Copies of this chain bind each other. A is one copy, B any other.
Amino acid sequence: MSNLYSIINGAIVSAQDATISISDLSIQRGYGIFDYFRFIHNQPVFLEEHLNRFYHSAKVMHLPVAQNRDELTAMILELQKRNNLPDSGIRITLTGGYSPDGYNIAQPNLLITQSAFTYNKDNFYKGIRVITYEHQRQLPQVKTIDYLKAIYLQPHIKEHHADDVLYYNQEEVTECPRANFFIVNSREEVITPGNHILRGITREKLLGMDAFRVKEGFIKTADLATAREAFITSTTKNILPVLEINGKPVGDGQPGPITTALFNQLFAFKEIY
């Protein structure tokens, strides 16, 4: 990040000097929201959808955004111009601000950061291993900065020789900490949980793909053992096959045909310009 810039409340600053007061409510009370989207070959990808979600998250969390969409978009484009990173990720964070009493929301701080990111297609073929864990994210429909449980669980995940955790709520599978979850069932339907989850942008795109039978539905923990295929989706991961759940292979332990077909369609749609 040697020569990169960030934006704090509209001011462009060197990323190395991008600081906020420790009285900010994110540091004091873990209170904030964010969104993250990518530039691919200098084009912002699904920017409108990400901004929609950002403003929605802010509203739900009672955080007034001083910048309207045009102003926020102008800042993002200015940052992209300065940093000159054709392939990158932009994170927009909105915190609870400098709270005089350390508890109640003040004027939010808006932080925009950018870092290089290039999608590596090899990741698709490697896939990932997950373990299940009973936990329900609080306010799951909002993209908050709360990843307390996910980071707390990192050693647990490593001990179990897995790459990520798959949450479930009672018997209902929900999502991964930073990705939505899908299975392909024995009827070749592609199912993703519809409740108690964050509505990921990649997830929404898949639900809109008419050529495939992608739909919302319940996935019980017991369904995981019989799933033909499984995968997760996110802005950085696109579609990533889940090849092992709790130490047992999904299907034959290789990326399945429907997962691969969906991936190819998403890839052609999103990553190639």
Given the complex, which residues of B lie within 8 Å of A152, measured CB to CB? 61-62, 139
Q: Is A31 an interface residue (CB 8 A)?
A: yes
The reply to whether A147 and B29 contact each other, CB–CB distance below 8 Å, is yes
Q: Is A26 an interface residue (CB 8 A)?
A: yes
The main secondary structure of chain A at its interface with chain B is mixed
> Which of A27, A28, A96, A103 neighbours the largest number of chain B CB atoms within 10 Å of its CB?
A27
Counting chain A residues whose Cβ lies within 8 A of the other chain, the interface size class is 35 or more
> Which of A25, A95, A113, A145 neighbours the largest number of chain B CB atoms within 10 Å of its CB?
A145
Contact of A145 among B20, B21, B29, B104 (CB under 8 A): B29
Q: Is A241 an interface residue (CB 8 A)?
A: no
Given the complex, which residues of B lie within 8 Å of A139, measured CB to CB? 148-149, 152
Q: Is A120 an interface residue (CB 8 A)?
A: no
Given the complex, which residues of B lie within 8 Å of A28, measured CB to CB? 93, 145
A111 CA to B23 CA, complexed, in Å: 10
Q: Which residues of chain A have a CB within 8 Å of any CB of chain B?
A: 6, 8, 18-32, 61-62, 91, 93, 95-96, 102-105, 111, 113, 135, 138-139, 144-152, 154-155
